[in-house]
Amino acid sequence: MFGAEEIRKSMSTILQSPTTAPGRFGPYGGRYVPETLMVPLFELERAYETAKADASFQAQFQNLLANFAGRPTPLQFAARLTEKLGGPRIYLKREDLLHTGAHKINNAIGQGLLAVKMGKPRIIAETGAGQHGVASATVAAHLGLECVVHMGTEDMARQALNVARMRMLGAEVVAVDSGSRTLKDAINEAMRDWVTNVRTTHYLLGSVLGAHPYPTMVRDFQAVIGREAREQILAAEKRLPTHLFACVGGGSNSIGLFHQFLGDPQVKMIGIEAGGRGGQLGEHAARLAAHQGFVGARPGVLQGTYTYVLQNEDGQIATTHSISAGLDYPAIGPEHAWLADQRRAEYSAVSDQAALDAARLLSRTQGIIPALESAHAIAGLVERLPKLTKNDLVILNLSGRGDKDMDTYSRLL
């Protein structure tokens, strides 16, 4: 195995010509998988390239986004929040209103349709908090696919309601009892399942992570968020936003919002990570916030992709902490690593407590209880207020609703 430094050096030529390899974002991304997975990844890449250009696939995708998931989602002016904060005009992109309660359904529909197209009757997924598992099980039921979700036993205990949802939808939930019994162990188990059953099975990955083509494909499926938001803000305000805010776990809702604005240098993009309980390794899940004193992130390979990874000095993957399960992951999507290096997007982290306070703030000003993940984006906006003016115009991605977090809110608020 190569260490992060060797890989970084060997990538330096690619760094100078970021478009040389498919699936590269500068030096990041790529396809670091066992040989047995190269064939299915090539197959998936081809199928996706074909589907992208296929009008009937796109029509099916748009149809399900509209009639099953509930798109387009509103871009709502947050009048009372704007007044309360006294700074920029704030609009909320309401992904919380989608079927199953978050943006994850956009990607699950896209990949579910692709599984059908590839003739694969079985999908597998891994899940931490259970949100991606529920989205996958939902789409599988709708399309008549078999669905197996790998989940750590620790997470199954914490997220019993989502386990019941997946089973109600006809999915099999496989308990993973190895390692820390959480998301990364579930991912390892899903990988093993895929290697074994690759002929019949599509691996439905939930964020812009993993080997090529996943980071690009998942981004494309989520880019509908930014396409809608751009049209909606132009209709409402006759100008582009000055700032975009979104929380960053793997990075799919944020890149989904950002992507359509990458060509507009006047639009600042701010990704908010989980600062957890503090800067020490193990206390947070902030991979791109070293400038704020969050230690432990260096480029490295995790689960098939080269990106910033929280690790100890020996390159062992660190444990992470966040109050929000959806942000609690040691790596970040490779495109974000590249956007951060180029300073095209900025990243900062907010604490568990700041996210809780922000969740209460949004609930009481707007009558919207946000998911804990989305509450991080709100906290990020609150912390940045001193740098913003009344002339600024903000779009904040409300990635999900707070129903799933009510236990945490009632315990801690």
Ligand X SMILES: *Cc1c(COP(=O)(O)O)cnc(C)c1O
- Of 120 and 376, the one with the shorter C-beta distance to ligand X is 376
Tokens of 150: 């790998």
The H or E element that residue 7 is part of is helix 4-10
Q: Which of residues 125-154 bind ligand X (CB under 6 A)?
A: 131
Q: Is 286 in the site for ligand X (CB under 6 A)?
A: no
Q: Is 252 in the site for ligand X (CB under 6 A)?
A: yes
Q: How far apart (Å, rounded) are the C-alpha atoms in residues 30 and 390?
A: 42
Give the x-and-dash track for 24-63 against ligand X (CB under 6 A): ----------------------------------------
Q: How far apart (Å, rounded) are the C-alpha atoms in residues 110 and 163?
A: 23
Annotated catalytic residue 56: no
Give the x-and-dash track for 380-409 against ligand X (CB under 6 A): -------------------xx---------
Q: Is 107 in the site for ligand X (CB under 6 A)?
A: no
Annotated catalytic residue 104: yes
Three-state SS string over 101-136 comes to HECHHHHHHHHHHHHHHCCCCEEEEEECCCHHHHHH
Q: How far apart (Å, rounded) are the C-alpha atoms in residues 397 and 390?
A: 20
User: 299 pairs with which residues across the strands?
Assistant: 308
Q: Is 159 in the site for ligand X (CB under 6 A)?
A: no
| Residue in 317, 324, 301, 382 with CA at minimum distance from that of residue 348 | 382
Q: How far is the CB of 36 from ligand X (least distance, A)?
A: 26
Among 40, 251, 330, 380, binds ligand X (CB under 6 A): 251
CA distances from 398 to 93, 97, 348 (A): 6, 9, 17
- Of 131 and 307, the one with the shorter C-beta distance to ligand X is 131
Of 126, 154, 189, 346, the catalytic one is: 126
Of 104, 120, 184, 268, the catalytic one is: 104
Angle at 302 between CA 250 and CA 31, to 5 degrees: 95
- Of 96 and 193, the one with the shorter C-beta distance to ligand X is 96
Block residue for tokens 């390979």: 301
Among 211, 247, 297, 309, binds ligand X (CB under 6 A): 247
Positions in the binding site for ligand X (CB under 6 A): 102, 104, 131, 207, 247-254, 326-327, 371, 373-374, 399-400
User: Which residues are tagged catalytic?
Assistant: 104, 126, 399
